[in-house]
Amino acid sequence: MANKVKSIKISLLSLILSIFTVVAYHMPFFTYSCGAVEKGFNGIIIVASLALLLLAADFFLYYLLLFLGRIVGKCIIVFTLISNAGSLYFINSYNVLITDEMMGNVFNTQFSEASGFFSAGAVLYILLLGVIPSVLLFLPKVEYGSVKRFFANIGISLAVVLGVALANMQNWPWIDRNSTEIGSLLLPWSYSVNSVRYYNAEKKR
C-alpha cells in the first residue's frame, strides 16, 4: 500500500518559514540591533519587538504567497530563500548593507564581474540556507483551508504588526536614527524594497 503524502496546514507552514527566516538570515540584524540599543530593559524590549515584528511580517508574506499563489507562490518563496542565502553571504563576507545604491551596483554588474565574488562559501550558504529548505518546502501537501480562515490569519498578522508598532511609539526616534542599517539587514525586505527604490530613482532620472 502506497504511503500517503504527509500534509501540513498552511498556517503552520507559514509559521515555520517565518521562524526559519528570522533565525537563519538575521544574525547580522540582531547583532547590530543589540549593539546599537541602550543597555537595560528598554533595549531588550526594542530587540524583542523587532523580532516579533519581523516574525509577523514574514508570516503575512508567506501565508499570502502560499494561499493566493499555490505552486507559483512556492516558487516565489524558493527564489526568496535562495536570494536570502546569497544576500546573507555577501553581508557576512564583505560587511555590506543591502541599500538601494547596493542594488544598483548589483543590477549594473556583469556576470563575469559578479562571479569573482563567489566562492565555496557562497555555494555552501546557498545550498544549506537556500536549496535544502526549498526542497523541503515541496515535500508536504499543504492544507489551504477556507477563505474565512485566510482573512482571519491575515488580519491577525497585520494586527500584530500594528500593535507592536504602536506599542513602541516611544522607540521610533531610535528606529529612525538606525533605519538605514536596520532596513538594509532585513531579508527579504531589504533587497525587495530597495530594488523598487532604485528603479523608481532611475525612472525619475
3-state secondary structure the chain: CCCCCCEEEHHHHHHHHHHHHHHHHCHHHHHHHHHHCCCCHHHHHHHHHHHHHHHHHHHHHHHHHHHHHCHHHHHHHHHHHHHHHHHHHHHHHHCCCCCHHHHHHHHCCCHHHHHHHCCHHHHHHHHHHHHHHHHHHCCCEEECCCHHHHHHHHHHHHHHHHHHHHHCHHHHHHHHHCHHHHHHCCCCHHHHHHHHHHHHHHHHC
pLDDT digit string, tens, across residues 90-111: 899 888 888 888 887 777 776 6
Using pLDDT thresholds of 50, 70 and 90, give the confidence band for residue 131.
very high
- Please state, in angstroms and rounded to a whole number, the distance separating the CA atoms of residues 175 and 177: 5
Nearest to 178 by CA among 42, 29, 18: 29
pLDDT digit string, tens, across residues 27-66: 999 999 998 888 888 888 889 999 999 999 999 999 999 9
Nearest to 10 by CA among 64, 57, 63, 73: 63
What pairs with residue 7 in β-bridges? 141
As a whole-number percent, the residues of the chain with pLDDT over 90 amount to: 54
pLDDT digit string, tens, across residues 3-24: 455 899 999 999 999 999 999 9
**Per-residue pLDDT at 116:** 63
Average pLDDT, rounded, for the chain: 88
- Please state, in angstroms and rounded to a whole number, the distance separating the CA atoms of residues 158 and 185: 21
Quote the pTM value.
0.88
**Per-residue pLDDT at 1:** 37
- Please state, in angstroms and rounded to a whole number, the distance separating the CA atoms of residues 112 and 132: 27
CB 11 within 8 Å of CB 142: no
> What does the pLDDT average to over 139-166?
92
Residue 200 has pLDDT above 50, yes or no: yes
